[in-house]
Structure 1
Amino acid sequence: MRYDSVIQGTFLSRPNRFIAVVDILGREEKVHVKNTGRCRELLIPGVCVFLEKSRNPARKTAYSLIAVQKGDRLINMDSQAPNAAAWEYLLSGMSWIKPDLVQREKTYKDSRFDLYYEQAGKKGFIEVKGVTLEEDGVVLFPDAPTLRGLKHIKELENAACQGYEAEIWFIIQMENVRYFTPNIRMQPEFGQALKDAKGNGVKIHALWCHVTEDSMEVAGEVPVIL
């Protein structure tokens, strides 16, 4: 996936979940934050950020914040990017799944999963989670408690028990990481739910991405430690 019209700026502050104040060529500008998560370890005053210019001249904010420099790592923090990257990866033929049919946002019971596919007579669901939290090369999810995430895991378990293929893809929005593990300090229940899901047939994958200032694509897999 690729962005258009990307420029560099310096992060100054975040008045609320949706808005950041960024210095762009010496001018303070309010920009849209494409991630409502906390991201406190990323959005630190003075860090370099990358912004995409909106094509809509009527929009209140002219730019969207899409990536941030954290030390020597460039981290994409656009919450819509993981789904787009997973979609492209699934269609590319590079993954272990070679689908005959792929659909986005398929409803199953009380949940709507990000991807649905059919392959050689089998039907499957994939739930995609974007990962931006990194500590010493280890990536973790979630960065805040998520009831929605727990619900998705339980529904995937149910689907697996009903004969569907069921997978969770943790899309790591950066490169050069060691492994993925659930953030049990933040939400122990999430880590336990992943263990239970794996035991009941849900496959769990962590996929790192090649990230540039204006693009992000799935590049490989890293170990998952539960």
Structure 2
Amino acid sequence: MIFPNKLVHGRLIKRYKRFLADVELDNGEIVVAHTSNSGSMKSCLEEGAEVYLTFVDDPKRKTRYTWEMIRINKSWVGINTVVPNLLVYEAIKNQEIGALRGYSFVKREVKFGDSRFDVFASNEDEECFIEVKNVSMKVGEYARFPDAVTTRGKKHLNTLMQVKKEGKRAVMVYVIQRSDVEKFAPAYDIDPDYAATLKEACEKGVEVYPIRAIVRPERIELGELLPFELE
């Protein structure tokens, strides 16, 4: 995903009310940026750190900027939770994810039961429902998810198990928007119910793919699959 316009550079003052952040731009102006990440953003918040924003030229919108990434430990961490969905959708359409190649039809935002999944793909032989989650939390060498209790995330896992039970392909993709991690694991200490449900889903045939993204101010793209541990 290439950013269509040059991002705006600044430094984080503070994040507050979950969806807002104050940022000081290079010219000294202080602006309010929208933060799409509703989690705690644990391990990727540092006051004074470099950030990049997208300027949104929409007079109807209350905030004219969207927060895209922050520089932590000398590397960029993507925090826009909309980006992973688009990355995975485009990658499946372009046959760029080895395990998810061969689909002639790909669509975003498709319902199954009482859940709405991020991507649906199909061909003459099968249907595949794919849920995508943004991962930004780092603990040691691990990328961990979630960074806050997520009943919605657990619901998606339960519905993916139902998808599999009905003979369709069920896939969980974790897009890790940081390069300073080597493995993926659920955050047992933060949401033990989610961790247990993920383990159960994997045992029942739901496929799990943690993919590390390469985050840069010019573009964000999917990189390599990371090993994961569910125990």
> What interval of TM-score do these two structures reach, taking the shorter chain for normalisation?
over 0.9
Where does residue 20 of structure 1 map in the other structure? 21
Of the three residues 209, 213, 217, the one matched with 1:209 is: 213
The Cα of 1:19 is off from its aligned counterpart by 1.3
Number of the residue aligned with 1:36: 38
Query: Does residue 56 of the first structure (1) align with residue 70 of the second (2)?
Result: no
CA distance in 2 between partners of 1:55 and 1:5 (Å): 13
Inter-partner Cα distance in structure 2 for 1:173 and 1:77: 7
How far apart in 1 are the matches of 2:142 and 2:75?
13
Q: Where in structure 2 are the equivalents of 1:128-143 lying within 5 Å?
A: 128-143=132-147
Counterpart residue number, 1:187: 191
Displacement after TM superposition at 1:15 (Å): 3.0
SS state of the match for residue 116, structure 1?
A: strand
The Cα offsets for residues 20-66 of structure 1, whole Å up to 9 and x where unpaired, read as 11111222222211222221432221111111111214433221111
Describe the SS at the equivalent of 2:160. Answer: helix
Cα 1:58–1:110 shift into 2, 3 Å: closer
Q: SS at 2:63's partner residue?
A: coil
The equivalent residue for 1:69 is 71
Aligned length: 226
Q: Give the Cα–Cα distance (whole angstroms) in 1 for the partners of residues 61 and 13 of structure 2.
A: 21
| Counterpart AA for 1:100 | S
Aligned twin of 1:177? 181
Alignment gaps of 5+ in structure 1: none
One-letter amino acid of the counterpart of residue 124, structure 1: C
Q: 4+ residue stretches of structure 1 with deviation over 3 A? A: none
Instruction: Give the distance between the partners of 1:126 and 1:58, measured in 2 at CA.
Output: 33
Matching residue's letter, 1:180: F
What's the C-alpha RMSD, in Å, of the aligned pairs?
1.3
Alignment of 1:113-128 (within 5 A): 113-128=117-132
Deviation, 1:100, is 1.4
**Candidates 219, 222, 226, aligned match of 2:226:** 222
TM-score, normalised via structure 2 length? 0.93
Structure having the higher strand fraction is 1
Normalised TM-score (structure 1): 0.95
Paired with 2:61 and 2:113, the residues of 1 have a C-alpha distance of 36
Distance between the aligned counterparts of 1:15 and 1:184, measured in 2?
A: 26
Task: Kindly provide the amino acid, as one letter, of the partner of residue 84 in structure 2.
Answer: P
- Note the residue ranges of structure 2 that are not aligned, 5 or more in a row: none
> Residues of 2 paired with 1:58 and 1:76: CA distance?
26
Report the counterpart of residue 155 of structure 1 in structure 2: 159
Secondary structure at 1:2 match in 2: coil
Per-residue CA deviation, residues 92-120 of structure 1 (Å, 9 max, x unaligned), is: 21222220111111111111111111134
Distance 1:120 1:183 in 2: 37
> Percent identity among equivalent residues?
28
Paired residue type of 2:30: E
1:29 & 1:176 partners in 2: Cα distance? 29
